[in-house]
Amino acid sequence: MAGFGVLITFVFFIYIVSRGRAQLVGLNISLRSIVKASYARHCRNTNVVCKLIKTMNTFVKLPTGDVEIEHIREMVSEIKGQNFEFKTWHPRPGLRDKKSNFVTHLYVGQAFDKEYFTLDNNGWTDDHCKICFKTLGSDPNQYTDTDGYFNGADWVCKTCYTELVLTPDLEQKIESYGHYDQ
């Protein structure tokens, strides 16, 4: 009976996924046939799980940009447990690749090969908000904040911190912005 229960659940799942075609699939058809019948004609990928995962990407229209909902939930939960303080953004030391002349790594005291890198005390010239990826740097403009919340390692922009981290009800806040699936 347990197996039958799983089959019922799976058939219902297939029905939900394929409800656009609104055709309930009979129980006497093998699962393989159900998947093929539901997808072969209008979906190149007949893998049900892949199809479901693709339809599950929800983007929230934050004031600073559209961000995937699970990323927001995960980051807010992580940030809430840490000690972030409001600060003016400041450059940090970086490791400059001698060959390309680009700063490729933030320097936090790690060992590095002096043959390939030089230490530039103000070489790390921008950061990105952990939630919405907005740039934080020294030059104020439409796309760059010059202050935000810092925990000694990561930055969160003012908007995300006050709107999402400090809100007593994240889900309600997310709902208020509106979202879309992609």
Residues that bind Zn ion (CB under 5 A): 64, 129, 131-132, 134, 157, 160
Tokens matching residue 66: 């559209």
Least Å distance, CB 35 to Zn ion, is: 40
Helix (H) or strand (E) holding 34: helix 31-39
Tokens matching residue 160: 């995300």
Q: Which is nearer to Zn ion, 34 or 79 (CB)?
A: 79
Report d(CA 161, CA 130) in Å as an integer: 10
Q: Are 40 and 46 in contact (CB under 8 A)?
A: yes
User: DSSP code of 133?
Assistant: -
Q: Which is nearer to Zn ion, 14 or 76 (CB)?
A: 76
Least Å distance, CB 133 to Zn ion, is: 7
Q: Which is nearer to Zn ion, 125 or 144 (CB)?
A: 144
Instruction: Report CA dihedral (170, 172, 176, 177) to the nearest 10 degrees.
Output: 30
Q: Which is nearer to Zn ion, 79 or 131 (CB)?
A: 131
Least Å distance, CB 174 to Zn ion, is: 14
3 state DSSP class of 47: coil
Least Å distance, CB 72 to Zn ion, is: 10
